[in-house]
Amino acid sequence: MATTKHSYSRSKLSGELPFRAITLGAFVLAAALLFALFVIIFEKTFVLWSVESPLTFLLSSGWSGTVSDAGVLTAAYGAWPAIFGTLITSLIGIAIAAPVGIFAAVYLVELAPRWVAAPLTFLVEIVAAIPSVVIGLWALGDLSPRLRDSVEWWVASTIGQVLPILSEDPQQPSPTSIFRAGVVLAIMVTPMVAAVSREVIRSVPQSLREGLVGMGATKWETIRLVILPTARIGLFGAVLLAFGRAIGETIAVRLVIGMDNVEVPKSLFKSGTALAPQISVGFAEATALDLGAIGALGVVLFLVSFVISALVRVLVWRSARNLGGGR
Amino acid sequence: MKSKSGLKSADVSFSLDLTERDVNRRRVNRVMTRVIQLSALLAVIPLIGIVLVVASNGLPGLSLEFLTNSPTDQPRGILNAIQGSLIMTFVALLASAPIGIGGGIYLHEYASERTMRVGELVIDVMLGVPSILAGLFAYFALVPIIGHSGWAAAISLTVLMIPVVMRTTQEVLRLVPVGLREASLALGVPRWKTTIFITCRTAISGILTGIVLAISRGLGETAPLLLTSQSSNDTVLDLGSRMNSMTVTIFTWAGSPDPQFVTQAWTTALVLFTMALVLNVLVRFKTINSRVL
């Protein structure tokens, strides 16, 4: 009796282990791919570290390396212009996208009548689905000249006369600029801020709203005193997520920033470069040392995006604990 | 609607005793409501701009020949780019769908609390990896061995598509009621069969959503393809050689000094944009269905 029972349960379990192993294998494979991605890019940078210290690489500018006839390597690669460009363009992007995206989400959840909210949500999220090269083409052919002749021209001929960081010759504007790359990034990440913020604001308990309305608060007071403060961790996460997306954007930025990697530009209205686009150029005639430097840019980009993703995940865990489930 | 009724009640109570402070509060409320409405408008204006400009610049070049001719024909067409994009994305999907679905099932159905947390972190980091790095990875790992090829591109796309499928799978499995699983297990159905035939079947439309999202991501990527499949005028569809794609075609033609190429970049963008739009509308309807579960 016992033996039959035993074999019975074993036959029932026969598919259990293989299935478990297959699904575990799939997960391990994915994690291994991520690990391999980092290791393989990191490994390519060793040749650079043998001649240039990481700190010099991060903080200097320039992009040249030679191998002399005697086989002596000299390297003067600097990531600083790219790091600077990535930071500035992403910050411009976030400075625009954060308020617009969060307020758009507030509108969708708190103010919009239902017949407006549903289609508007759809439209905002469609922007996130447009391939970046299409946005890049639009930015290059339509947005960039418009910005040059409106905002940039106006700022350059007023404030720019005093502040060197906003200066530019209004008669001969640069065909590409860091500022325009920032605006393009703003357009690309606003839907992301709006979508995540919308979920966060929706999860604010209804009773909190009712409490304030009961005390005679206006709509704006409810938003400012209860909704935004309650949702602040989630909103911060939304902005952080968008920042991570902005630093990784390659093609749209490459089309409008000008790819000038020699030194840090003196004005926001001049051409510059950024990490991700810089990685995508110069493969045709790259030496092993050049590739090492490109790999090093990749390592910097990977580490920054890793830290941001991990931070967002920690925020999600924390807010889940605070609210007792729900994201 | 809500804001309007709010303003109306304000008008009514205006006849009561209102201090200057209350009037001020109402004014601030009105101004901020406008600011918020304006923000929502600002968030959609780019979409309107993009749709109008892409359509007006791209439509004149759109013809049947454009979709069925190769780049070397007269008039020039983008057939091999469309085929290349579809083939590379499809191959990447063949790899990323099973890995993503399997991994998602493992994380939600089998993993311990701790493993699940690690898994969520892995998915987040993978989702956040800039696409250019997936290209760089394939360039360093595969291009020295197999050269610039469709295979290298497909593998870089796989890295980008896996987390999309895995995240969606995991999220949608969470929505399946525990009672369904318990009922099945109570009937003596083994766990793996329950997972496949009860849990996953219930969640199938959500899993499909993840797959469509992954396809949409794969079709829209440019940066990794620049480093791996590059571009080609070849109409021979061989994954072992360089392959054309819509995104790289747009990118290359966009920077061309020849205005005819630029016009055709717009037309290609129109084709790609339409595809992305169709896929996303599809996802919309799918998610609406899966909410009902």
**What pLDDT digit, counting tens, does each position of B113-142 carry?**
999 999 999 999 999 999 999 999 999 999
In angstroms, what separates the C-alpha of A206 from chain B's closest C-alpha? 15
Predicted ipTM? 0.90
The confidence band for B17, taking pLDDT boundaries of 50, 70 and 90, is low
List the single residue in B36, B43, B226 with the smallest CB-CB distance to A111.
B36
Give the class (CATH, top level) of B66-292: mainly alpha
Q: Residues of A with CB below 8 A from B163's CB?
A: 30
Pair A301, A276: CB distance under 8 Å = yes
Does A209 contact chain B (CB < 8 Å)?
Answer: no
Structure confidence at residue B15 (pLDDT):
53
Structure confidence at residue A51 (pLDDT):
86
Pair A296, A172: CB distance under 8 Å = no
Per-residue pLDDT, averaged over A136-142, amounts to 93
Cβ separation A19–B196 shorter than 8 A: yes
Inter-axis angle of helices B79-105 and B204-220, to 10 degrees? 140
Alpha carbons A261 and A309: distance in angstroms, whole number: 27
Alpha helices per DSSP H over B59-130: 64-68, 79-105, 113-128
The domain limits of chain A are 1-38, 84-281+304-323
Does A216 contact chain B (CB < 8 Å)?
Answer: no
DSSP B195: I
Q: Residues of B with CB below 8 A from A27's CB?
A: 102-103, 106-107, 111, 119, 166
The confidence band for A294, taking pLDDT boundaries of 50, 70 and 90, is very high
Pair A78, A63: CB distance under 8 Å = yes
The confidence band for A16, taking pLDDT boundaries of 50, 70 and 90, is confident
Interface probe with A: pick from B106, B161, B253, B264, most Cβ of A within 10 Å: B106
CA distances, B125 to each of A188, A234, A327, B100, B159 (Å): 20, 18, 18, 14, 11
CATH 1.10.3470.10 fits A84-281+304-323, yes or no: no
| Sequence-distant (≥ 6) Cβ neighbours of residue B4 within 8 angstroms | none
What are B201-220's pLDDT values in tens digits? Answer: 989 988 998 999 999 999 99
What are A185-206's pLDDT values in tens digits? Answer: 999 999 999 999 999 999 899 9
The confidence band for A10, taking pLDDT boundaries of 50, 70 and 90, is low
Cβ separation B190–A127 shorter than 8 A: no
In this structure, what token pair is assigned to residue A262? 């020699």
List the single residue in A25, A131, A248 with the smallest CB-CB distance to B130.
A248
Average pLDDT value for chain B:
88
Structure confidence at residue B287 (pLDDT):
58
In this structure, what token pair is assigned to residue B130? 């800039």
In this structure, what token pair is assigned to residue A321? 């604990």
What are B236-287's pLDDT values in tens digits? Answer: 788 888 999 999 999 999 988 898 899 999 999 999 999 999 998 888 776 5
Per-residue pLDDT, averaged over A202-214, amounts to 91
What are B221-242's pLDDT values in tens digits? Answer: 999 999 998 888 877 788 888 9
CA distances, B221 to each of B225, B226, B289 (Å): 7, 10, 28
pTM: 0.90
The domain limits of chain B are 66-292
Nearest Cα neighbor of B205 from B130, B279, B283 is: B283
**Cα nearest neighbour of B271 on chain A:** A134
